[in-house]
Chain A
Amino acid sequence: MREVDGPKEPVETGPPPFSEHSADSPLSIHAMTVAYDRRPVLWDVDLDIPPGSLVGIVGPNGAGKSTLVKAAIDLVPTLSGRVRIFGKPFQSRRRMVGYVPQRESVDWEFPVTVLDVACMGLYDRIGWCRRVNRAAKERGMEALERVGLADFADRQIARLSGGQQQRTFLARALVQDAHLYLMDEPFAAVDAATEESIVELLRELRSTGRTAVVVHHDLQTVRRYFDHVLLLNTRVVAFGPTEEVFTPEHLQATYSGKLTLLEEASEALSKHGSSP
């Protein structure tokens, strides 16, 4: 009931105003709580991602960064809360969302080529029981070209470097031509060249009005890469434009007790102070 006509009909009980969901927000999360075995991983998360932004999610290990991304697209069950993608539930907005999982989530020895993987992003458009046709392969190649892997199209995916594997996953999301991209640690363990090309790609996406939400681990690059940042530690510590929100106080609150990370954070900030 509520799922269908929530925004129009006020409900007496339960968490109030669904009007909080802005209809044009690519990703709007309200009062979301997720728990694994009774241990809360995300607690009462509220979030309205502005359209056309590049959002970095940072926070210590176990802060629920990946879980947030997965819960947004129903990959992990939520205890409570609602997610809206451009004003509608994920089920009816599936095609507008491109998801890039962590590289370690699959077995790279699997007998498929780079092009095979890229084309997987088109399966729902190709439809059941149909072969991957030439048009799909052409689009797969285009996506591979965008991530600089066109020369590797026929290569088995185990014979790629880590960065190339990450870019293969990106290509698979790019073929979907989505409006919202959710990326889980795309910068983890990639070479400098790949990191640069991913950043370039993100900016390209933003310049065409797309939105990207990226789980990120390197505090040093947050300011350079993202215009918005979400500081997460089970709860939302802060969310907003990077300039305003990425402050020592917020970082301290996010990483409290984790000394080494705190040092890293202050180093990142001091670096930023000396060279823009």
Chain B
Amino acid sequence: MRFPPFFLIFFCWGALSIYSQNKQLLYDFNEIPQALLINPGVQTDFKWYAGIPALSGISIQAGSSGVSAYDLFADDGVDFNSKVRNRLLGAMTSRDELSGTYQFELINVGFRSQDPSVFYSFGIYNEGDAIGYWFQDYALLAIEGNADRLNRRFQLGDLKTRGEIMNVFHFGVNKVLNGKLTVGARAKIYSSIFDFNSTRNKGFFVTRPGENNILSSRFNADMKWRTSGINALKTAASDDTLGNTIIKRGFFGGNLGLGIDLGVTYNLNKQTVLTASLLDLGFIYHSNDVENYILKGDVTTEGVEVILPGALANPDRDFWQDLVDNIEEIIPFENNFNSYIAFRPTKLHASLRHNWGEPVLRNIDCDCGPNNVGANRAPKYVNGVGAQLYMINRPRGPQTALTAFYMRRIGNVLALKTTYTVDKFSLTNIGLGINLQAGPINFYAMADNLLGYQNIANSRYASFQLGLNIISWGKN
């Protein structure tokens, strides 16, 4: 079946735009080394770990807050034009989004220092993310037009999108300060492969009764589309060197940035734990292969205007061309190659967990599994229940998700975590994560919005994460 272009645009946008980035199942799941990437201050017990290259951490998330593929393409006999009008134009707003992110680790290694209270971790991962808000007024103009909508302002700010792919090189330190407090920080170098963003557009298009003529059209625009790396990739694609170019740009040959993650875990008492982390507090400075497009100005026209007698002074005057030239002069479409800074989407995680049940395998002098805890740590319990908060800064302001979770540990082999999350994508998001430990081999798999899997096409949010690590706990 040939996919129509609209669908491809729609879902490439979606696939690139999985941007929720909430990893509520992995967060504070401290049997899993990758939890360090979401909270560098997580309580760790590992002597060392090593992720299986390219398999240690894979995560993909996709979300649409307004419409699902099923809403539009279900074989339900409803006229497609009606669906577009009712479910897109009539139901979605400019705050609805298609967003997504993916991440996979190339290298992830951690080891405990000679000082047992300090744990180091480092690695490289590749990340891509994008978001596109529903361009309501552009869609309205394209589907219905401006006719019979006098004084209706079509907002140019409805174009709000950004996306990027990069490699992230990171080094983190995790330190137990005392029996209650663990802190951590992770330094990051971002190596951007490409970036585009157009998030601060302003302006409008409006048609009003004219002062002289019947109608007046006003176009007020302050729009900018910034890109880096796109031209290099296009050139590489035509030269058949795309792979080399991606690798080069991903390994310090593109645009670079700096960032930091911060995290903390605090034991309020033996059974209650408070955690928080702030991720990707950073930026990328784009100076290499930059091209920006700008449309800025304010013009009003009522069409060709001829006022006698002055207008007849020059018999060769081309009023139409004068009008076009005047508009282009007032509101020029320009491009430049100026450098720019793009801030990373900073994320905040926090959780409060209460543990209960039997403390498991405390201070066992063996290399026997994840529940073997150091003397300076709170004991692990069979059960844990709590709540998590997640926030991310987005082009239209912060987005929040709230999660309730339950964790269950079963021996040294298995740990389960189930979550219920409320966010703008779903009110019925139930997730399940499983961590299996077979000797030194660690495997985890997590999936979100499980109810949506009854009909994936109808799901507005889906994510999964999996990974494979080798872990050693050493001897106490």
Partners in one complex: no
